[in-house]
Amino acid sequence: MNRDKQETFTSTCCYCGVGCGVKVKIESKDTVSVKGDEDHPVNSGMLCSKGLNLQYTVNDKSDRLLYPQMRYNKNMPLQRISWDAALERTVAVFKTFIEKYGPDSVAFYASGQCLTEEYYVINKLIKGFIGSNNIDTNSRLCMSSAVTAYKMSLGEDSVPICYDDIEIADCFLVTGANPAWCHPILWRRVEAHKFANPHIKIIVVDPRVTDSCSLADLHLQINPGTDIVLNYAIGRILIENNQIDSNFIRDHTEGFEAYTQRVFEKTVSEAAIICGVQEASIRLAAEYIGDAKGFLSLWTMGLNQSAIGVNKNLSLINLNLITGKIGKPGSGPFSLTGQPNAMGGREVGGLANLLPAHRDLSNDKHRKEVQKFWGGATISDKAGLTATEMFEALHDGRLKAIWILCTNPMTSLPNVRFAEEALKKAKFVVVQEITDKAQTLPYADVILPAAAWAEKEGTMTNSERRVSHLHKIIDPPGEALPDAEIICRFAQKMGYKGFDYLHPSDIYREHSKLTARTNTSVDGLDYALIDSNKTVQWPFQKRKRTGTARLFTDHEFYTPSKRAIIHSPVDVLTSELPNSEYPFILTTGRIRDHWHTMSKTGKVSKLKQHIKEAFLEMNPVDAERLHIADDQIVCAQSRRGKVQVKARITNSIKPGVVFLPMHWGKALGSDLHRTNNLTSAYVDPLSKEPDFKYCAVHIEPFSKP
Ligand code: SF4
């Protein structure tokens, strides 16, 4: 245990996927203080505004759920009950549905904020014992396009780089991301590197002018949805200028010929017109990339949250492959993870189409291996329902019961009014939560109070595959329990064997054993080893008792041919396009000081100072045409719903495009600030990730200026 006489513990920030190390000091029986961990390899003591205010989310218990509650039928109020009664009722209902309608009539919807051990037991429960693959998480909403593209290109969902590559790279292509606000500590490392080495080049690709642009040598303010066209144009220039690595392409890749044909389908000037940027700017970006010794491509939701998200990812990864900038210091494709443990969830196979240790659900051998290890029911070969599919299935009655934990879909799902209708129609809803403000609670038949960060023990894995151990530091309030314990108690009451763990470390050890002989192994790793190394990056090298900083240094990829695959998908946008009725493109995103649906950051007054309320960004040209003034309330309407927010008139967004932050939900009984009233039900056909970054809306003044 990293516990000293001052009652100080090491832990990891529970907000974004950067995974900064913190030191948590117990100040009283149930309050703590937090500061950055100076010895941590990720942040060297630095914290962003969210991390600096982490303690307030734990110390303020005013909104915490303290005991289980249940309603006997949909028309009755919730009543306080015991844990046994809550779980026994849930067991009875689940058993009834499973017997009557089959195992696919129930589902679990979890979160990239769950600890790895929590993901592991939920996944084991539903896939290994209930016999359904109906588990998905809100990581489907943020990372699944990157997961799919890594698998298609590199043979495995494996981020090849380590953060220390930042200080070695001399060209950064930051695309569909605003790390200055969303991954601030990583961005500070990029910033420090740039200040010390002004010759390094930073290219930012974003339809908006963001804070990240202030560090950029070049900002390509592309039209939304044109990323593939841009990446292909850059690829074409690199080929024309012979700034590719022909030996690497010949020896370690497949698909280059088809790629060459694809990128030569459009001239660079045609691409520039489609993207809405200068041809010279595209050529300059290609020059920066072509001249670089170390080239890092960084991306996140701008590429992932798209109806063509996988293809956007593939087109970007290709730039690293054709230049041979992968598996080398300072080089590689680097997807920035949104949530603190989206990576851990993928390790244990916590998505509807995965099995533990990145095994394939569709692979007969993989299913049998896992089934034998767990010793439970036959693992179904039918992929489970993904996040949005679960709510569609609730809506049409295929799915009877849903167990929602650690996530707030009533703000975060696209086309959220449809999801709300779906929850109303659900026969049985379990909500496992920490806060009484969760917008799922009005639909719950059973409410289970959960422990929060610092109140439970387990592990998380950050964006660079770095596993950290989070200690339990204080007790949860009231009768709240750690999420893994709740799931295990339920599983035991269902009569399933193998859920009688004495400690979270037992769950981790079981998970690590199941990863043996896989590309993403943590076999042999346990809490003591993580603590003695401070953190460990997988794959864990059991014999050397150490992690692995960088992947593919031998240029052998995880594909059957051991070659990376250069894919060349079409560049056609399949989003909901604007028309005369809905002429604007809506794109959505984060702001600096809030996290997801604000269930944590919304409690902290300091974090509410930066931006106090929802807003709609629009260009002055559009504002003038529609007679809209700054701060005037406007109504944005799509085919699915509307919102009313203040306009923010700014040149930082292109004409024809508007932006709404994603965080505000159904506050004070009104949903008029809830961005996802507008977003579409379109998803990427391969990753099933929703198209949050593109839908058609109509804008009009709501109030007089
Ligand atoms: Fe936490 Fe991310 Fe900020 Fe680091 S950068 S302190 S992990 S929110």
Strands 633-637 and 615-618: unpaired
Note the pLDDT tens digit of each residue in 152-206: 999 999 999 999 999 999 999 999 999 999 999 999 999 999 999 999 999 999 9
For residues 194 and 274, the answer to whether their CB atoms sit within 8 Å is no
Note the pLDDT tens digit of each residue in 446-490: 999 999 999 999 999 999 999 999 999 999 999 999 999 999 999
Note the pLDDT tens digit of each residue in 506-533: 999 999 999 999 999 999 999 999 999 9
| Longest CA–CA separation in the chain, Å | 71
- The closest-lying atom of ligand 1 relative to the alpha carbon of residue 16 is 2
User: How does the average pLDDT of the chain come out, rounded?
Assistant: 95
Model pLDDT, residue 3: 45
Domains defined along the chain, listed by start: 8-59 (2.20.25.90), 69-142+342-461+466-521 (3.40.50.740), 144-335 (3.40.228.10), 584-701 (2.40.40.20)
Pocket of ligand 1 (CB under 6 A): 13, 15-16, 18-20, 43, 47-48, 50-51, 183-185
* Amino acid letter, 508: Y
- The closest-lying atom of ligand 1 relative to the alpha carbon of residue 36 is 6
Instruction: Report the SS3 class of residue 335.
Output: strand
Helix crossing, 483-493 with 116-123: angle to 10°?
20
Model pLDDT, residue 2: 45
Q: Across residues 430-452, what is the average pLDDT?
A: 95
Tokens coding 140? 């489907």
- The closest-lying atom of ligand 1 relative to the alpha carbon of residue 18 is 7
User: Given a cut of 60, is residue 121 above it in pLDDT?
Assistant: yes
Tokens coding 143? 């990372």
Residue nearest to atom 4 of ligand 1 (CA): 20
Q: What DSSP letter does each residue of 636-690 carry, written as one string?
A: EE-SS-EEEEEEEE-TTB-TTEEEEES---SGGG--TT-GGGT----B-TTT--B
- Quote the ligand 1 centre to 593 CA distance (angstroms): 11
CA atoms of 418 and 76, how far apart (whole Å): 24
Q: Across residues 237-254, what is the average pLDDT?
A: 98
Instruction: Report the SS3 class of residue 22.
Output: strand
Model pLDDT, residue 662: 86
Note the pLDDT tens digit of each residue in 54-72: 999 889 999 999 999 999 8
- The closest-lying atom of ligand 1 relative to the alpha carbon of residue 22 is 6
Strands 458-461 and 446-449: unpaired
How many other CB atoms are found less than 10 A from the CB of residue 681? 18
User: Given a cut of 60, is residue 47 above it in pLDDT?
Assistant: yes
Q: Across residues 89-103, what is the average pLDDT?
A: 98
For residues 616 and 634, the answer to whether their CB atoms sit within 8 Å is yes
- The closest-lying atom of ligand 1 relative to the alpha carbon of residue 595 is 8
- The closest-lying atom of ligand 1 relative to the alpha carbon of residue 49 is 3
Model pLDDT, residue 289: 98
Mutation pick for ligand 1 pocket among 16, 22, 466 (CB with most ligand atoms within 8 Å): 16
Share above pLDDT 90 across residues of the chain, in percent, rounded to a whole number: 88
For residues 565 and 153, the answer to whether their CB atoms sit within 8 Å is yes
- Quote the ligand 1 centre to 40 CA distance (angstroms): 13
Q: Which of 1, 6, 39 is nearest to 22 (CA)?
A: 39
Instruction: Report the SS3 class of residue 56.
Output: helix
Model pLDDT, residue 141: 93
CA atoms of 678 and 257, how far apart (whole Å): 41
- Quote the ligand 1 centre to 412 CA distance (angstroms): 20
- Quote the ligand 1 centre to 23 CA distance (angstroms): 13
Strands 21-28 and 8-12: antiparallel
Note the pLDDT tens digit of each residue in 306-356: 999 999 999 999 999 999 999 999 999 999 988 888 888 888 998 899 999
* Strands of the sheet with 466-470, listed across from one edge: 458-461, 466-470, 536-537
Note the pLDDT tens digit of each residue in 365-411: 999 999 999 999 899 999 999 999 999 999 999 999 999 999 999 99
Note the pLDDT tens digit of each residue in 647-695: 999 999 999 999 999 888 876 567 888 999 999 999 999 999 999 999 9
- Quote the ligand 1 centre to 50 CA distance (angstroms): 6
ipTM: 1.00
- Quote the ligand 1 centre to 65 CA distance (angstroms): 26
- Quote the ligand 1 centre to 647 CA distance (angstroms): 29
Model pLDDT, residue 4: 46
Question: What burial letters (b/e) apply to 77-99, b meaning 16+ CB within 10 Å?
Answer: ebeebebeebbebbbebbeebbe
Residue nearest to atom 2 of ligand 1 (CA): 16
- Quote the ligand 1 centre to 442 CA distance (angstroms): 31
